[in-house]
Chain A
Amino acid sequence: MQKFAIVAFAGLTALAVQAAGATEPVRLAFVDPLSGPLASSGQLGLNHYRFAADEINAKGGVLGGRKLEIVPFDSKASPQEAILILKRLADEGFHFVSQGNSSAVAAAIVDAVDKNNARDPAKTMVYLNYSAVDPALTNDKCSYWHFRFDSEVDMKTAAMTEFMARNAALKKVYLINQDYSFGRAVGEASRKMLGQKRADIEIVGDEYHPLVKIKDFAPYIAKIKASGAQAVMTGNFGADLTLLVKAAKDAGLEVDWYTYYSSLLGAVTAIGDAGVDRVYELTEWHENIDNPELSAFADAYKAQLKDDWRYMRVRTMLNMFAQALDKAGSDDPRKVAAALDNATYKSPLGDVVMQAENHQLLQPQYVTVLARGGKHDLEGTGIGRKTVAAFTAGQTELPTTCKMKRPD
């Protein structure tokens, strides 16, 4: 049903666009799961896109008065579905596509965009990635048409393990991750980097569980307990994280958690006070960073959507997109891609850079821990995050194996 609605909607916008001429909006296709088990993640992303685009539009839009328009498509978290959508987007004249949930889908889109652009330059597409963080996408499988605005797994893990290594009392760590490309990348990076930084830390468990299929994590919690782990490190997100911490709380498991997505979708509500001083998260922004511009922005989102603002990188991305459109002076995707290549953007938290050699954004990263008593909280729990370590954009840079093929 929703699909028909979207098609009809897209069709209507296409008509409206023809009538409106030069004031037509610049369309960005948002392709993410809007049904199925990951729907809540997709919907969260869509809300963020729309709100950040509204902010840009309220300030006068792009290219001298044109609006940014976010057009949603349901990928159902399936690479096949995403490729079908991409074909349709090319036919309907979309030049800019964005996605974030699932690195498997991201890899399929990178591949399809590359082929599409080689086959039909008139229908060139540029892919803006806000969340799919498999390192391969900016290394072996890198593409000129793909721009990543979230730090990839190796960068995140490098920062997180750097922070963990400072804790001399930490001796036993349990790794648990989702069994697919992203989870595997987290698990392998964690094991390797912990080993390099602190050979004395023992990896007492290295678990991969099926993606979004486990409803009862109690057996895994029993195993973590039996391993004697002091800390659990996980890249889990969505239901896989919420159910994991919920089961840990029910079982009274007392360990530290090193995570990348624990501020999302009810995880803080689920874990509550059991997570205070115990749940660490690596993030590009959090609600208690003292920056008036971003705080006002996040507060406005909360007032409008009755939910917390989470992905500051979405705002960064859309602002860089707008900046690139203005610099290119047109919505020609080839010119916009050239303008994004090596672009610098003055974010309220400092300059961020789109690396030319692999199109990976370098941005500041923060290690946070859940705490009570901060100015802002998450999900109305009274519990929010506070910074325990900060890394500058430059400190997160890693060497890349990308050999980028640039267009002539």
Chain B
Amino acid sequence: MTGLLALSLLNGLAYGLLLFLLSSGLTLIFSMMGVLNFAHASFYMLGAYLAYQISQVTGFWVGLVLAPLAVAALGALVERYGLRQVHRHGHVAELLFTFGLAFLIEEIVQLVWGRAAVEFPLPAPLREPLFMLGGIAYPVYRVFMMAVAVGCFLALLALLKRTRVGLVVQAALTHPRMVGMLGHNVPLVFMSVFAVGAGLAGLAGVIGGSALVTEPAMARELGPIVFVVVVVGGLGSIGGAFIASLAIGVLQTLAIGFDVPLGDALASLGVATSKSGNLAELWSVTLAQIAPLLPYLLLILVLIVRPRGIAGRRDL
């Protein structure tokens, strides 16, 4: 049992860290520009597909480096020639713009790479087992995935808290006009933040696409959960997003690993449920079956109880 628990925690951490990689960029963009970027998960998908395309020629590792850079460049273009034009019409226009962009990217991906999943495997060394736990091999790529995510987390923290650039970014977050008056190029700051955010999503795409699956639906499926991380973590807080991602990853994985009927779960919390009657069907649903719902339950609870999330500086 302890083996299963340890394995579930490790799997949860790996999944959570992938979520972090994906949502950290969105947190940056959202907190800074106030843009709810619906197309963020589309950058994740683009990262996977571009890396797939590049890896056909050069192998996985070059793709791992080039694809996120390409996605970042694309993000910069989207900000410069799309969002910045739409910005003057207000947040609703921006939101609709990214909403449309998400559909556009999905259609383009389907036109270029087809509607089926593409074969984008991890290189053999990453697929090797690293260690055994409870008779199950733990492959290298999961640790690699975690290392990249933690690395990005530390780099982002250092950039924001320890450098001059980070100072300007943080200042622009709350006092954009003042920062502009002081002679900093605020539009350039915004464009860079958007590019970095898109690039991070692209990086998550390369890793997630090859470790899991690269298909046209991957953006649509991960899109909503990214917003959960941002809201639960708190606006503008990289640390909050980090904690929220891990919590969601571990929560979902543990729910699958240790599923009990809802009724029993509530009983252990001291809530009595009846085994008969109209709700009996509901109480017999297991935790594993509702695992994909749990993050959204968390989202709703956080919005009601603590709208600023785990580490946000202001309410949503």
Contact = CB atoms under 8 A, between A and B. Distances in A.
Nearest to B4: A226
A218 B11 contact: yes
Interface in B94-140: 107, 110, 115-117, 119, 127, 129, 132, 134-139
Contacts of B142: 218
A57 interface: no
Given A40-B116, A208-B289, A226 B134 contact: yes
Interface residues of A, number: 35
A214 B139 CA distance: 19
A250 B127 contact: yes
Nearest to B286: A208
Interface stretch (B165-173, B209-217, B299-307): B209-217
A107 interface: no
B82 interface: no
A36 B220 CA distance: 10
Contact of A223 (B4, B208, B292): B4
B66 interface: no
Contacts of A242: 117, 213
A251 interface: yes
A222 B7 contact: yes
A39 interface: yes
B1 interface: yes
Contacts of B132: 252
A225 B3 CA distance: 10
Contact of A252 (B7, B137, B208, B215): B137
Contact of B292 (A213, A220, A252): A213
Nearest to A248: B136
B8 interface: yes
Contacts of B107: 1
Given A35-B110, A239-B117, A225 B212 contact: no
Contact of B11 (A37, A207, A219): A219
Contacts of B138: 251
Contacts of A142: none
A58 B8 CA distance: 57
User: For B135, B136, B138, B218, which residue has the most chain A Cβ atoms within 10 angstroms?
Assistant: B136
Contacts of A34: 115
Contact of B257 (A215, A219, A253): A219
B129 A252 contact: yes
A34 B115 CA distance: 8
Contacts of A207: 288
Contact of A39 (B1, B116, B137, B289): B116
Interface in B63-107: 107
Given A210-B292, A243-B213, A39 B115 contact: yes
A209 B217 CA distance: 18
A226 B5 CA distance: 10
Given A218-B142, A251-B136, 11 more contacts: A34-B115, A35-B110, A43-B115, A208-B288, A209-B256, A215-B221, A216-B15, A219-B253, A222-B8, A242-B117, A266-B117
Interface of B: 1, 3-4, 7-8, 11-12, 14-15, 107, 110, 115-117, 119, 127, 129, 132, 134-139, 141-142, 208, 212-213, 215-218, 221, 252-253, 256-257, 288-289, 292
Interface of A: 1, 34-37, 39-40, 43, 179, 207-210, 213-216, 218-223, 225-226, 239, 242-243, 250-253, 265-266, 269
